[in-house]
A and B are shown apart, each in its own frame.
Chain A
């Protein structure tokens, strides 16, 4: 199913915005075959126990496809929630709640970056005020030390380490890092720089999608 590609290419991306009628904002993003659907509700009412007086409460729910949510899913939720909290201008909506719900549809590699990118698209679709955009890119290091961007499931299984970086669109500094496996400092730095270059393409993709969506006014 996967087309042959070299190590410094991103897989084809497709997105569909606003297709869920009940949500305030929704996005389906596919990177290659990895598909994640994200919907968000907000700013809306929030339980008093979770209310913050000067900011909006951001809550993230992640649902895997098979089985009930486990501990590893909680860590994913925490990661995505912290990333979204950094981006959203929550001070503009105090005492409200912003709910982001992610559903795994297909996991064919680079799953965490697909989740974060689709969350950003859903926030854009709902017109939530953001400080900057965020772009996530995953790369993996093979046992020979080669870096592959946006790996699929087979490449991830053969790799020694998998690193996911999230960059902001203003200065391209690192917002989030999540790694698995062990690697050296030099490998870390080269992955960081490679992913930074790749994230610029992701930001361009967001821009083009929104331009297309807003090109006609109803």
Chain B
């Protein structure tokens, strides 16, 4: 059996080796992320059958938990790691021809480290280790947002850096308090001792940790940085930030609430927060005239939807939330990648400049429309089964409150449909004013990565059942605290 630690160690080693590789040839480093992501994808796929039956606990250093740091490679962690590798691979193929100017070697290094940080967060079973990998993820994304070095990028990155740093400080304070209370950093160990102290002294670290992680997860009041950061970054980075970074932040929030704290009492609060995030994100997205800002606000709406699903805390709603997460990663990555070349072609981020793009860039426009339809939730794309699962889980609760909140969420989806169709309409049915409608294709490599994503979106949309089954096993991994504690502290 392959060890899950390879998912972190090998890409990290390759990232460390990149300065040496760059000394040999400056053209080589851009291929390293491809190698690392392909390796991780293979390892994750080989691990999935194993972890679906029982989680793999990898002890680092060979001491027994809780004395050492352990990795917890459960179904959720390994599927996340696989998704990170998949999205990383596709976006790395895109970046081969998209990233041509600037300090390219450092771009690829930071990109690799971002993926390493994300993988570390989803696999670790130790709260301080989670903080360390979270920092790797965050710091590399701050730098990548500012990659172009223009005024907007630097300003957005500074904003992101300040809010992210405050979030990290809160997270660290929360972890410090937890360590003070329980004298341990192991997630399973903390989870088994959480009942031994008064509720209020657990609540404070919970609040600090959730609001610290919530900044990266872009939950409603903490997401002011996101539209600027996602719209000023290079499109490949917008795709990875939207598709991976916020999802990983959300995973950390969920792991903390469900497993470490077992805080069932805040689900109602989260439910409202999720609905608020959906409405706020979708309404702001509707008002945008800049395509990348629109996509960024749409990410906020999607995160709200996922939070809503998670906060219902049933096996089926968690499976729906995880499915929606998969949908969002694949579709939003596709949207940003397609938008990247359309912006490249038209030279402007305004939606009006995309008029008539359907004739000028047929394949890229088609990819964009697929992504848009999938996010909105039309069949036969992947967004349909995932949204359907969330709707079903809310109706299964059979309570007026859930049905009412579901109504608000569906209202948000309606708004989402309106602004995405507006863009698709502009692409296909509006005539561009000045430019002659000459056809041109994006270069081959970006088209390949868009094709991979589009095929996945349709394929899973038509055959959702295997994915849904695997995800409901993953959902019970999140819900079953006793099994988590037992498997680590045997």
**Do A and B actually bind?**
no
Q: Which residues of B contact A (CB under 8 A)?
A: none
User: B-contacting residues of A (Cβ < 8 Å)?
Assistant: none
